[in-house]
């Protein structure tokens, strides 16, 4: 933990592999022994606190955020002062033993609240990119790194890499990814993410209570939810809905409060409805929304109109194209009172 407070902003890593086609019944990365996953997470400096899965993928709530394992894709989000990028090389090596080859990589994060507390290589985005360049296999020759939102104090850092033959993943199945970051949460609502002293509950049972009390369950009622409440405060949730995941993480302490929501959607209307529900749960004073979709799809349109009735106005908007990702649009919003 940082001396001045806990770093809520997550680092997000997504690795895609080819081989062991799930359409042909292959289980791919899901065949990895749990002890091997645990060893990777130990290097990252986090642990599994709860888990759930279905026929499509496995979902793990971590002591610092989330892990999702699909047959040919793995997504890790970690907050605090974790060493997320140390997972790249061992995951690629483990996948190789299963006959899988890395064909795509995507790394994203926001602007750290406590950047000076971050360990190498997360000290700067330049160091992170250099570390990725050195640890990714040579076949990932199409690479790009960019910092979006340069006119805003909230920036979005994106690195992607893929090989020449890798199919465009984002949007290939009609889905697109949404990453939402919120700071300066409403103080009254943030109190819902503190546990009562000596409440006699487990992290799992307290998590179920928080999911219901805060309204998080209403964001996607079709999802199977795996939730966990930390002691004395903090909350994490993974949602499993068919082949789609969603996740929420909350650091509620006043002075550095933070909450995030990430999910995949099939259409813009569903996304905008979910966005409004999430904002109502936390009522942040500052909000950023990043959408990643196939080139040509303008799923970002309507975001400003959706949050305006909730007291938020647009501050900045930036868009860019990335190999293996498509179009990334990063928008920031602030409460009108600011």
> Residue 337: pLDDT band by 50, 70, 90 thresholds?
low
Residue-level pLDDT at 245: 96
- Round to whole Å and give the CA distance between 117 and 85: 16
Query: 329: number of CA atoms within 13 Å, CB side?
Result: 17
Residues 197-236 pLDDT 10s = 889 999 999 999 999 999 999 999 899 999 999 999 999 9
249 among known catalytic residues: yes
Structural domain count, the chain:
1
Whether the CB-CB separation of 50 and 227 falls below 8 Å is answered with: yes
Residues 26-71 pLDDT 10s = 789 999 999 999 999 999 999 999 999 999 999 999 998 999 999 9
Residue-level pLDDT at 25: 62
Give the number of other Cβ atoms within 10 Å of residue 157's Cβ.
21
1 lies in some domain: no
The pLDDT of 61-88, averaged and rounded, is 95
65 among known catalytic residues: yes
- Round to whole Å and give the CA distance between 111 and 258: 12
Q: What are phi and psi of 205, to 5 degrees?
A: -70, -40
Q: Which of 7, 169, 170, 262 is catalytic?
A: 7
User: In this structure, what CATH number is given to the domain that contains residue 183?
Assistant: 3.60.90.10
288 among known catalytic residues: no
Pairing of strands 286-293, 326-335: antiparallel
Residues 267-323 pLDDT 10s = 999 999 999 999 999 999 999 999 999 876 788 889 999 999 999 999 999 999 998
4 lies in some domain: no
- Round to whole Å and give the CA distance between 176 and 161: 18
> Residue 95: pLDDT band by 50, 70, 90 thresholds?
very high
Residue-level pLDDT at 314: 93
Give exposure, 294-332, as e/b (b: 16+ Cβ within 10 Å).
Answer: beebebbeebeebbeebebebbbbbeeebbbbbbbbbbb
Q: Which of 50, 59, 65, 316 is catalytic?
A: 65
**Percent of residues, the chain, with pLDDT higher than 70:** 92
Q: Which of 18, 66, 236, 316 is catalytic?
A: 236
3 lies in some domain: no
Residue-level pLDDT at 298: 83
Q: What is the dihedral of CA 146, 305, 238, 212, to 10 degrees?
A: 150
> Residue 23: pLDDT band by 50, 70, 90 thresholds?
low
Identify the three-state secondary structure at position 14: strand
26 alpha carbon, distance to own chain's centre: 26
226 among known catalytic residues: no
Q: Which of 10, 64, 170, 262 is catalytic?
A: 10
Angle 128-28-247 from CA coordinates, rounded to 5°: 55
Q: Which two tokens stand for residue 255?
A: 């002075």
Whether the CB-CB separation of 252 and 230 falls below 8 Å is answered with: no
182 lies in some domain: yes
Pairing of strands 326-335, 312-322: antiparallel
pTM to 2 decimals? 0.93
296 alpha carbon, distance to own chain's centre: 23
> Residue 151: pLDDT band by 50, 70, 90 thresholds?
low
The pLDDT of 86-98, averaged and rounded, is 96
207 lies in some domain: yes
Please give the residue range of the domain that contains residue 306. 11-335
Pairing of strands 73-78, 101-109: unpaired
285 alpha carbon, distance to own chain's centre: 20
262 among known catalytic residues: no
Q: What are phi and psi of 134, to 5 degrees?
A: -80, -25
Query: Crossing angle, helix 125-135 and helix 88-97, to 10 degrees?
Result: 20
- Round to whole Å and give the CA distance between 303 and 272: 7
Q: Which of 94, 122, 157, 249 is catalytic?
A: 249
Q: Is the pLDDT of residue 1 over 50?
A: no
Residue-level pLDDT at 24: 54
Q: Which of 46, 79, 105, 226 is catalytic?
A: 79
Whether the CB-CB separation of 154 and 289 falls below 8 Å is answered with: no
18 among known catalytic residues: no
151 lies in some domain: yes
């Amino acid at each position: 933990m940082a001396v001045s407070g806990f770093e809520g902003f997550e680092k997000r890593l997504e690795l895609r592999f080819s081989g062991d086609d799930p359409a042909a019944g292959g289980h791919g990365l899901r065949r990895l022994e749990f002890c091997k996953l645990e060893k990777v997470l130990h290097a990252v400096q986090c642990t599994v606190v709860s888990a759930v899965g279905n026929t499509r993928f496995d979902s793990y709530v971590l002591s610092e955020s989330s892990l999702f394992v699909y047959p040919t894709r793995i997504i890790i989000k970690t907050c605090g002062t974790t060493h997320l990028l140390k997972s790249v090389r061992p995951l690629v090596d483990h996948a190789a033993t299963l006959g899988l080859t890395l064909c795509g990589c995507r790394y994203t994060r926001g602007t750290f609240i406590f950047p000076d507390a971050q360990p190498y290589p997360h000290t700067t985005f330049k160091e992170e990119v250099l570390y990725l360049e050195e640890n990714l296999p040579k076949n990932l020759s199409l690479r790009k790194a960019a910092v979006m939102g340069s006119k805003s104090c909230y920036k979005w850092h994106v690195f992607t890499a893929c090989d020449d033959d890798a199919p465009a993943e984002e949007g290939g199945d009609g889905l697109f990814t949404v990453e939402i970051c919120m700071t300066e949460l409403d103080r009254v609502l943030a109190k819902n993410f503190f546990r009562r002293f000596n409440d006699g509950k487990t992290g799992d049972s307290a998590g179920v209570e928080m999911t219901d009390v805060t309204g998080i369950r209403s964001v996607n009622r079709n999802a199977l939810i795996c939730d966990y409440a930390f002691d004395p405060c903090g909350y994490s949730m993974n949602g499993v809905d068919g082949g789609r995941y969603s996740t929420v993480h909350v650091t509620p302490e006043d002075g550095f409060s933070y909450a995030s929501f990430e999910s995949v959607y099939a259409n813009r209307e569903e996304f905008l409805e979910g966005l409004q529900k999430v904002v109502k749960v936390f009522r942040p004073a500052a909000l950023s929304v990043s959408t990643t979709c196939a080139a040509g799809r303008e799923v970002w349109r309507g975001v400003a109109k959706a949050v305006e009735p909730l007291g938020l106005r647009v501050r900045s908007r930036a868009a860019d194209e990335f190999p293996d990702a498509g179009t990334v649009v990063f928008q920031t919003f602030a409460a009108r009172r600011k």
